[in-house]
Structure 1
Amino acid sequence: MGSVLEDTVTGRPLWGADLRMLTSSPMGEDLFGALRADAREQAADAGTARRAPLTRVRATGLLARPWWLPVLEGLDPYSEAVTALRKVTLAPEAVAPFPYDWRIAVSYNAALLARTARAHLERWRERLAARPEWAAAGARQPRLLFVAHSMGGLVVRAALEQDPELAADTRAVVTVGTPFLGSVKSVLALNLLNTGAKQTWLLRRVQAMAATLPGVHDLLPGYRCLDLGLDVERLTPGDVARFGGDRDLAARSLGEHARHRVSGFALPGHRAVVGEAQPTMQTLDEQQGHAGLAIAVGRRYAFDVGEDGELVRDPATGIPARRDASGDGTVHLPSACFGTEAVTYVFGQHGTLMRHDEVLRQIRRIAVERPQGANLGPGGVDAGPGLEVPRLGGTLGEPLILTVTGLESPAGVTLSVRSATTGRHPGRPLTLRRDPDRTDGALSARFTADAPDLYRVTLETGRHAPVTQLVLVTTPDA
């Protein structure tokens, strides 16, 4: 959801421009309805992009302000990453942002990216040939470096699969929090109306939109994630349909996962930067709700698979062994690390990774490195600061429970909340206390907003880079 979208005919902003879309029922219901994918958009693939690209909705730029959605939660803009790269290149125009209509299938956007990247590379080669002083100063023959956050990494992988010549012209691919194996949160987003949570206009509209979008279905987990007690299975299109998704869109997405398991395709020069130590949903189990609705319940544990492809089981009971694989709050580590051993770990939340100081340092370093192939090396696996905020957001007048994990004591720890739109710091400093309802020793604090807004929660320990997350507070239903 990191690209600004607008109506091609009217020029009306549809996404990423006006926060009232998320806080005001009349405006939001209209715009979320406009973002639902129609039949042509649902059927679009790489062939469509090459023959007759879709024209109803246009991506006009990368997200330039903080944004948010229930379950998928906060997303920071990409301006700091673009600026960081432009500071280390020969000229600012060497860095080309690629916004895309994230509602549509990954394969469709990949074909557009392949064409755009090829044109960008050829333009830059022509420019370098016209500047002999750059070559004399040691400028290399241009090749491509892709820096991709979240779903963007899937788009890059598909683009390079579709165009082997483009892959040969690629020096490296840096993925930040990319769900190569999918994310359980996509199922939870499709399941919003089944959960039994308090139904608001925002949840209703988001679920109705998500159920039509190929892009959301392309984020479905392709690994064994459905906990059946004595066994763990991969999702089927029927499972996704019971949870609120579209059977046909799910079949296409899960079919792509099956293809990737045997394709052996590797991203050239792939480096993965991943967030860890954040409370992350990793698997699901199914429960029956009111009127027979299937409820998907996210669980913070994963299952190991041996080299033989079989589940690792407890030798005494035969039950599949569970463990917390950790993650960035949205993507668990095995999914974000898939396909490479060149991994850098940071303490950070998924949606705010692209403004994380360590992530910015890594992408700058990779952009200028010589020679190619330096392994960033794995980081530590020690416990670190984690932040958990209500994934469905909050309602004005009701306290939000903010939780800090991975710390022994609140001493020296600061948890603050301020408006992400105005910078205003509402209320008193928050007091962290041991949460008696948690068995993991977590700390918690309460925050009650005085106005509907998008708020940034910041956790600072003095020993680690700050961890931030966004949470939306809306007005209650009339």
Structure 2
Amino acid sequence: MTQRSRVDDLMVVVPGILGSRLADADGHEVWGLSGKALLRGIQTFGKSVKGLTLRPDLGNDHPGDGVRPIGLMRDLHSLPGVYMPIDGYNTLLDWLERNFTLRRRLPGDEADAPVNLIDFAYDWRLSCRYNADRLAERVDEELGRWRASRADRRDARVIFLCHSMGGLVTRQYVEQCGGAEVTRRVITLGTPYRGSLDALVYLVNGLRYGIGPLGLDLTTFARSLPSLHQLTPDYACLTTAAGTPLRYAREVAGLPGVDAALLRDAALFHADLRASGAGADYGVEYVPVSGVLQPTPTTAEIHGDTLNEALTIDGLDEGGDGRVPRLSSAHVGAGRPAYTPWEKHGSLQNNKAVRQALYNWLTPEPPVHRGSDDDDVPLSVDAPEMLTEGETYEIRATVPLGTPGHDRVALFVGVEGGPVRKMTNRGGGQYGARLTELPTGAHRMRVSTRVSANVVMTALVLVLERGADGDA
């Protein structure tokens, strides 16, 4: 039996955008299917999307439509046009409870039973400010119970473990909602502290997919979300032609698909967070985890009504986790330097190296021996996140030139739970494989250095049914 490391604080897991299941006023789940049922979940969401679109003047309020969060996404999930594949959180919560003295509220427990591991589901359509206020209410309730449950817990504080946008919600709570006084540490996985270019590209370019007999167009829905605007870059990222100076999105008039008022408000949201000194005053430690080495859109050139992404900024490949550039996820406040695993954005919460690092961040006790932990090979993986059935899946991996033996590494790839195959060595540290006939649905593609070795990286892919376009 694994020895559990002691944690006396309250731990709160905060997911990213799309990471919370949503139900309507009648209790019917409108967003929640994942894993093998994901495609059906996307279709179901598409049928409800008009009623879930937000009005332009909503600001930091709730629309009063009865939609409410009902829990975290359990398995791999995605919503084309809003965000690409992201892994679920059940295995993370199970791992935390198994390895630390953390306990969730179980079925059959009293509703007010004191526990020190909770997840915070939220309506990810809405402003981070609104959701930070809801987080404050939840933390006040749960921390009060935990502190009152035993005399030696009276000084317990809160440790947050946040993925992606969940880190922005939590930072708003700490810096603007009085949370700094009770917070010990904020661990963020791929949080876009200065935004993500992908969010802006989704808003401007729009996205529409044919899924089975129904087409799915989430463009109008995506453009109504305050949260998606708050994920847009808070750095100069746009140019009108190669070699011209970069400009902030809010400085460019007439960008199609972008709500100018929401974009200006997003800039104020980020500025207020940067200007706050609450966390520093109370000694809150920010611990950013920033995925690196992955091809990551960082800037874009404006071509008419569309944006063409680029992987560089001022001629430099900034890198990142494939979704959030390192310049955005690695720098926050005056906390410790970023921990930089080579992993994709959607898989950071389940990455082996990240979990090893969590041992050091969650408990002062010496680490318990947990078996062999061979050094992994740093990899940059380039692979499509979405395909239509019948298309060939081509995955490419690069081992950096400075890595010893970079041009003679044995790399293997395969769908989780299925057979693996050796990747072709193309020379110079370049490796590749082509997989055909992937079934429809969401898949984890595991890349490893040996057939039975621990996974080095995980690439997520969504395979859509081939069908005719139509109105969702």
Maintained 8 Å contact 1:415/1:457: yes
Residue number among 128, 149, 168 corresponding to 1:106 in the alignment: 128
How far the C-alpha of 1:140 sits from its partner, in A, is: 7.4
Question: In the TM superposition, what are the counterparts of 1:16-415 in structure 2 within 5 Å?
Answer: 16-17=32-33, 20=37, 22=39, 27-39=44-56, 43-45=58-60, 48=61, 54=64, 56-70=66-80, 72-86=83-97, 87-89=99-101, 91-92=103-104, 93-129=115-151, 135=152, 141-164=155-178, 166-193=179-206, 200=210, 205-228=217-240, 229-236=243-250, 242-263=255-276, 266=279, 268-288=284-304, 294-303=305-314, 322-339=315-332, 340-369=335-364, 384-391=378-385, 393-406=386-399, 408-409=406-407, 411-415=409-413
SS of the residue aligned with 1:236?
A: helix
Structure 1 residues 211-262: Cα deviation after superposition (integer angstroms, max 9, x where no partner): 11111111000111113423111111755x6242322222211232344454
- For structure 1, the 5+ residue unaligned runs are 130-134, 289-293, 304-321, 372-381
How far the C-alpha of 1:401 sits from its partner, in A, is: 2.3
Maintained 8 Å contact 2:377/2:449: no
In structure 2, give the amino acid aligned to 1:468.
T
How far the C-alpha of 1:410 sits from its partner, in A, is: 6.5
Maintained 8 Å contact 2:18/2:78: no
Closer, same or farther: CA 44–184 of 1 in aligned 2, 3 Å: same
Maintained 8 Å contact 2:297/2:325: yes
Query: How many positions carry a matched residue from both structures?
Result: 414
How far the C-alpha of 1:370 sits from its partner, in A, is: 7.3
Q: Whole-Å Cα distance in 1 between the matches of residues 454 and 379 of structure 2?
A: 8
Q: Which has the higher helix share?
A: 1
Comparing 170-179 with 203-212, which one deviates more in the overlay? 203-212
In structure 2, give the amino acid aligned to 1:182.
G
In structure 1, give the amino acid aligned to 2:166.
G
In structure 1, give the amino acid aligned to 2:297.
M
Q: Whole-Å Cα distance in 1 between the matches of residues 126 and 215 of structure 2?
A: 21
- Aligned-CA RMSD value: 3.0
Structure 1 residues 19-52: Cα deviation after superposition (integer angstroms, max 9, x where no partner): 656368853530444432245xx6142xx47xxx
Normalised to the residue count of structure 2, the TM-score between the two structures is 0.79
Structure 1 residues 401-459: Cα deviation after superposition (integer angstroms, max 9, x where no partner): 222223544641012124xxxx455xx83643539xxxx97433222235311121111
Closer, same or farther: CA 173–73 of 1 in aligned 2, 3 Å: same
SS of the residue aligned with 2:390?
A: coil
SS of the residue aligned with 2:236?
A: coil
Normalised to the residue count of structure 1, the TM-score between the two structures is 0.78
Match of 1:429 in 2: 421
Q: Whole-Å Cα distance in 2 between the matches of residues 184 and 171 of structure 1?
A: 31
How far the C-alpha of 1:60 sits from its partner, in A, is: 0.8
In structure 2, give the amino acid aligned to 1:432.
T
- For structure 2, the 5+ residue unaligned runs are 1-16, 105-114, 367-375, 401-405
In structure 2, give the amino acid aligned to 1:99.
A
How far the C-alpha of 1:398 sits from its partner, in A, is: 1.7
In structure 2, give the amino acid aligned to 1:16.
G
Residue number among 450, 453, 458 corresponding to 2:446 in the alignment: 458
The percentage of aligned residue pairs carrying the same residue is: 27
Maintained 8 Å contact 2:410/2:423: no
SS of the residue aligned with 1:257?
A: helix
Asked if 1:444 corresponds to 2:455, the answer is: no
SS of the residue aligned with 1:17?
A: coil
